[in-house]
Structure 1
């Protein structure tokens, strides 16, 4: 806008100057050239904001890790400032108050609950589609499916909509009564409760995979993605105002992360090493979930359909503010910028791996239309 105002002022000065010298016949063409230059500058697509304050939790975001390590953000003219938070709720509070620009590791329920309460956020991309979150029980327990949860003690916050949704699919109108949900603030406490026999099952976080895979006392029954495919583990969101004021920045973020996802899918072993170093963890710890291609899936795609499904389940189970009845969740999911960025990345970087970009286009059509 400043460039456009400057261009107009320059044009005005030229018109006045030329009129005083008897050169008025050229003023209109000169004005047109100046306005055309201003428009070209406006449409260059340069990021409006070049430093993005980002919270990606203590577990990090492997696509961000790769995009920083390989210089993909730099290629797009942006840089990332990591802003830590103690919990998902803290990250979203910082987002709502403008202390961070982007959050990518706060799940899906949390941002949806914020939106329902009146916070103006927009989901524009994604991180984990499925987060390799195992359900564990005492060793020797037989698992038949989500029907085994009925009437049992399940250490899981019922706002994890994959499970309440699955219980409703079994025909139970009130999943909160069909299962005895026991909530712990720490996954390790939930794990201990299984070992002590205080609960029948417990949902574990992504970071507990290494621990439970090496325990003799428990067995993994299933993973959350077995209960609900593409359930949407973590979305990428920002304030709606930030997105509206920085569309080129948002697209630059997406293009860089698409390249990072492409690299990740072809270089898993290196990705494990890079990410372990980034989050100061042992490689075995990261490999325990990242090498599970079936249950650990990352994607920049916004997953509109999955977010809409989550919103509906959370509403039916009472985990959204009453204000949600007046909100169209589609107004808080922006897929247009992702679609544009995907097309731009395909044109700009598609030769690096044509099959990947074709796959991402197909995935987008399947999960957002």
Structure 2
């Protein structure tokens, strides 16, 4: 089934625009009497944060909960389930969740373009270990191999349309024959049957495709566009503005979790498998991969790049012309958290925190 560009996005946009943004007063917990002015400033404005991370989980959140990093910041998470990216965006827009961490980058940007007031304040996956697959023996020379071919991928995946434009094609929607399926399994079956030449798989399909004799992983989405910004941390703008200490506390916990993850990947695999109720083999298939990169960094520059690509390819509402996307990206709270965590825990792993500071400068300056 060929993609009908923009129709599903338009329908979702209408729904979310009508829904509007909900408040967050119901889960605010009064802070205890502070011992000092500094303590009062550091106390989270909201101690219980309603969080959606979808069915695939979030390893940094898992670690931060298991190791008590959120507790150190006076924060408790209340998980709010959603089975699809669109559902996560609806939860935010209707005030049923405070934060979403697994809904990609294009989904939040499309909602911002439609008038939903959201702010990107951090990140989850920088590179989501999403494989590009083809039939056994297929050679891959780069994104130019997609030109004129059938590619099972929604063109709202801006890393690919952006890379095609970088090759000199003004209209990437015509340069490649984009084909969409209802799920990754259907796209995979289409590759096996020879109905499409290539297909993009999700993070969770790594275990399956690595065990299929008919299929080769020819490349990864991260090969096509470096630091493409797989999943962003996003919340209603009102939540970020009204809860700066809470947001900074979230960032501090996740930064510490990133460090623990990078130093203890085997344990992280076990923790994540237990959390999402699956096997360690399933998690290891995507986590023990150079193309699986997690960071709570907001990635301002890649997000702005994604906004521009989505606009050029017609995946943003016409209202986007009047929106400065930089106004919907908050890097200050992450940077403040990074500086504080570096001061508190930097001696534990100086190279790690030096790396994070350099990564921030590269992707946000």
Normalising by structure 1, we get a TM-score of: 0.88
Q: Secondary structure at the match of 2:77?
A: strand
- Offset, 1:352: 2.3
- Offset, 1:185: 1.8
Question: 1:29 maps to which residue?
Answer: none
Question: 2:100 maps to which residue?
Answer: 103
Matches of residues 190-269 of structure 1 in structure 2 within 5 Å? Answer: 190-269=187-266
Q: More deviation in 315-324 or 349-358?
A: 349-358
- Offset, 1:184: 1.0
Note the alpha carbon deviations across 1:327-355, whole angstroms, 9 max, x for none. 00000000011111111111122222222
Instruction: Measure the CA separation in 2 of the matches of 1:92 and 1:339.
Output: 25
Q: Secondary structure at the match of 2:116?
A: coil
Question: 1:280 maps to which residue?
Answer: 277
Note the alpha carbon deviations across 1:133-175, whole angstroms, 9 max, x for none. 0000010111111111011100000000000011101111000
- Offset, 1:42: 8.2
Q: Which of 330, 337, 340 is 1:334 aligned to?
A: 330
- Offset, 1:44: 2.5
In the comparison of the two structures, how many residue pairs are matched? 332
The answer for unaligned runs of 5 or more in structure 2 is 1-33
Instruction: Measure the CA separation in 1 of the matches of 2:97 and 2:140.
Output: 42
Q: Secondary structure at the match of 1:44?
A: helix
Matches of residues 120-199 of structure 1 in structure 2 within 5 Å? Answer: 120-199=117-196
Question: 1:7 maps to which residue?
Answer: none
Instruction: Measure the CA separation in 2 of the matches of 1:59 and 1:163.
Output: 23
Q: Secondary structure at the match of 2:127?
A: strand
Normalising by structure 2, we get a TM-score of: 0.89
Runs of 4+ residues deviating >2 angstroms: 37-44
Q: More deviation in 41-50 or 252-261?
A: 41-50
- Offset, 1:39: 9.4
The answer for unaligned runs of 5 or more in structure 1 is 1-36
- Offset, 1:41: 6.6
Question: 2:349 maps to which residue?
Answer: 353
Q: Which of 278, 281, 299 is 1:303 aligned to?
A: 299
Q: Are the counterparts in 1 of residues 119 and 235 from structure 2 also a CA contact under 8 Å?
A: yes
Instruction: Measure the CA separation in 1 of the matches of 2:181 and 2:101.
Output: 23
